[in-house]
Structure 1
Amino acid sequence: MLAPYACHPETSRGRLFEERMSTFRSPFQRDRDRIIHSSAFRRLKHKTQVFVEYEGDYYRTRLTHSIEVAQVARTIAGVLGLNTELAEAVALAHDLGHTPFGHAGEDALAELMQPYGGFDHNAQALRIVTRLERHYADFDGLNLTWEALEGIAKHNGPVVGPFAGHGEPSGPLPYALAEANAMWDLELSTFASAEAQVAALADDIAYTHHDLHDGLRSGLFTEEELEGLPVTGPAFEVVDRLYPGLDRMRRRHEALRRVFGAMVEDVIAVAQTRLREAQPASPEDIRAMDRMVVRFSEPFLQELKAVRSFLFSHMYRAPSVMAERRRVTAVLHDLFPLFLSRPEHLPEDWRAAPDLAEDDVALARIVADYVAGMTDRFALQEHARLFGGAPPSVTGDLT
């Protein structure tokens, strides 16, 4: 049973290109399935989350991260009476636009694309699902429902207007987002559906949890350091009280699963309270609110900020991680200008793009699409093929 403020499939705004309804699947289930079967989704298995793909088999990749986000989103959406299929679809699609080498790659491509309209991975995800996936006979992209596209565009909140960016002035829209919005008005000044908001918080929960796990596995910090932090410290205390003398790996797992549970429970409790207070009668009521209905409580958020600050200094900006970041950034700084100046190095099907010869901006955006779609390993292989020798990301001492 769906709540009245949930997105009901029978009242979906439909698809840009009209299609016959499926006999067995709802519109949002078809969205989810198309995302799972897309080329872009498969490529996530070899794209960096924090650690570059070749650094270890146990670290999260963009694919495993997206699956974990989807699991959290389904759980929260189900408790709140929301459409779990839509929440899962947005969760699975939220990182489709990520470059190779994670945020290091995105930062590099954003810098390289600055003269040509910039680069943003959320906007690139929209470009993928509306244009770049080219498998269907009747349309480019995946022809997702309006609700799924809206969720991808603004799951983190309104993009323009008084509620965008916490009220701070924002720059021009990323070209990929403006392009998608011109095709179909995504109402960028309003909040997204509750399902999309759930996907956004599920992303925060998933990466905080698994980055703690991966950071411990990598040796960048220790359990003893986490014991001095809010949220993580109390979790270790509970485990030690319940299971004195537990071996290290089980102790770690038991503590972090409690951190995970605390985050999920806080989000659910806050959302339930806000929904009771607001009494929204439709998804439009959710969109018209002046704040997100799905979020952490303020006290818990302040505690999480301390944990994330610790992760920032001890993991995301650790010397070994930063050294690898510099090396992989160099790969993209080599590849992008080469393809831009010598597009004959692009694969034949990319050289055949109809807008390739329009102007420098059109060419740069095609090159960005190609480079952004690369996996870590393919970017390294292309660098070795085009420049010779070992790529800069796998040479030198990482310590």
Structure 2
Amino acid sequence: MTIRENLEQWERNYLSIYASHSAESKGRQRFEKQCDIRPVFQRDRDRIIHCKAFRRLKDKTQVFLTPEGDHYRTRLTHTLEVSQNARTIAKALRLNEELVEAIALGHDLGHTPFGHAGERALNKICPLGFEHNLQSVRTVERLEKDGRGLNLTCEVRDGILNHQTIGKPHTLEGKVVRLSDKIAYIHHDMDDAVRAGILKESDVPAEIREVIGSSPGDRLDHFIHDIVTTSMGKNDVIMSEPVEKAMMQMRNFMSVNVYHNPLAKSEEGKAEKLMETLYEHFMKHIDSLPEEFLNLLSEGEAREQVVCDYVGAMTDRFAIATYNEIYIPKSWSL
């Protein structure tokens, strides 16, 4: 037996009866010869970590736009925190850690610069619309590897597509990531809001603190323990009713006090305008796109989609630099 086959046998012997087994994957869009060392979900994880879209996450906004402090979360650190939460839950439930890790690391690859402000801007100005979960799937299926995509397994692509609240993943591993995404941003967005001086822990309503704790760390620990104990032995990944209710209350509290806070979001209007301006510019100057995007056009992709692909893939820093290059006059020098 190869190393991969031994690992697949270990999954059969050890993982939960409800887990996704590598050897039973529904496969890839294009056939590939199996690796003799790595099972399929491990290969997917490795492909995601090594792709360009993953590296760009380090310079994309999570909540606070282009923060000057060293310790605010970025889209990359959010992704890593989601992955760690998901692996902890999956290990406790004897689910497939490599599948949850691949889904978690890939779930936000299609996010725009400037967080949800950038997403709103492209969704508004592009007639085809823009949703980051759909763009994440498009990134791994079409945009990476010069248009060839990463050729990931069906299970990983399904988890990426369905990681949002309204999503319905077809695997328990996908459900783990969907919940891990929520508890990660509730944890770190509150932590960042306290760091920024926008909120104090005492601002969190007492009825929420009594159920899920009085600090970001306490809440994260409570969420993970509740998911594990409530889901153990079930063909589902869920929270207990009191904790789920408290989580929703905490999300609503964060929405009012952070996500729509005028101080925290004072620059988002500018970011949206910048994104709309870049989109309009490249629609008019389509030939100035890099060759890999022009190739998509020559293969029949819609002009609007390809411009969205390019602008949406930018980091915060590159989007600002591109805008300055196009629209801000340069100082005269000899």
Map of 2:173 onto structure 1:
195
Match of 1:266 among 226, 231, 239: 226
Equivalent position of 2:9 in the other structure: none
Shift of 1:20: 1.6
How is 1:282-361 mapped onto 2 (pairs within 5 angstroms)? Answer: 293-355=236-298
1:242-267 Cα shifts (integer Å, max 9, x gaps): xxxxxxxxxxxxx3211111011111
2:119 aligned to which of 80, 100, 106: 106
Matched, 1:382 2:327: no
Write the mapping of 1:138-287 to structure 2, written as runs, cut at 5 A: 140-156=148-164, 191-226=169-204, 228-231=206-209, 235-236=213-214, 255-272=215-232, 275=234
How far residue 12 of structure 1 moved from its aligned partner, in angstroms, is 1.2
**SS state at 1:24 partner:** coil
CA displacement 1:76-104 (0-9 Å, x = unmatched): 01111110000110011110110000001
Percent identical = 42
Residue of structure 1 equivalent to 2:98: 85
The more displaced of 13-22 and 103-112 is 13-22
Given that residues 283 and 303 in structure 2 are in contact (C-alpha distance below 8 angstroms), is that contact kept between their aligned partners in structure 1? yes
1:47 and 1:100 in contact (8 A); partners too: yes
Q: 1:22 to 1:348 in 2, by over 3 A?
A: closer
The residue aligned with 1:178 is none
Q: Which amino acid aligns with 1:130?
A: E
TM-aligned CA deviation for residue 344 of structure 1? 2.6
Q: Distance in 1 between matches of 2:276 and 2:136?
A: 22
Alignment match of 1:72 (pick from 70, 73, 85): 85
Shift of 1:346: 1.8
Could you tell me whether the CA contact under 8 Å between 2:212 and 2:243 is conserved in 1? no
What is the TM-score of this pair, normalised by structure 2?
0.89
Deviation by residue 1:215-262 (Cα, 9 ceiling, x = unmatched): 0000001122136351378734xxxxxxxxxxxxxxxxxx32111110
Indicate conservation of the 8 Å contact 1:156/1:197, yes or no.
no
- Equivalent position of 2:53 in the other structure: 40
Give unpaired runs (5+ residues) of structure 1.
160-189, 237-254, 281-292, 391-399
Q: Which moved more, 1:50-59 or 1:64-73?
A: 50-59
Contact 2:198 2:264 (C-alpha < 8 Å) held by counterparts: no
CA contact (8 A) 1:230 1:303 kept: yes
Contact 1:231-1:304 at 8 Å conserved across structures: no
The Cα offsets for residues 145-187 of structure 1, whole Å up to 9 and x where unpaired, read as 111112112244786xxxxxxxxxxxxxxxxxxxxxxxxxxxx
Letter in 2 for 1:347: P
How far did 1:309 drift?
A: 1.8
**Matched-pair contact (CA < 8 Å) for 1:232–1:259:** no
Root-mean-square deviation (Å) = 2.1
1:129-144 equivalences under 5 Å are 129-134=140-145, 140-144=148-152
Report whether the alignment pairs 1:2 with 2:15.
yes
**Cα offset for 1:296?**
2.0
* Cross-structure match for 1:28: 41
Question: Does 2:131 correspond to 1:120?
Answer: yes
CA contact (8 A) 1:34 1:142 kept: yes
Q: Are the equivalent residues in 2 in contact too, given 1:31–1:145 (CA < 8 A)?
A: yes
Offset, 1:54: 3.9
Q: How far apart are the structure 2 equivalents of 1:45 and 1:121?
A: 17
User: Is the CA contact 2:65–2:114 (under 8 Å) kept in the aligned structure 1?
Assistant: yes
CA contact (8 A) 1:50 1:316 kept: yes
Q: TM-score normalised to the size of structure 1?
A: 0.75
Residue segments in structure 2 that go unaligned for 5+ positions in a row: 1-13
Note if contact 1:226-1:232 (Cα within 8 Å) is conserved in structure 2. no
Q: Could you say if the C-alpha distance between residues 256 and 352 of structure 1 is closer, same or farther in structure 2, counting changes exceeding 3 Å?
A: closer
Q: Aligned-pair distance for 1:109? A: 0.6
Q: One-letter code of the match for 1:363?
A: R
**Following TM superposition, by how much is the alpha carbon of 1:36 offset from its aligned partner in structure 2, in angstroms?**
0.5
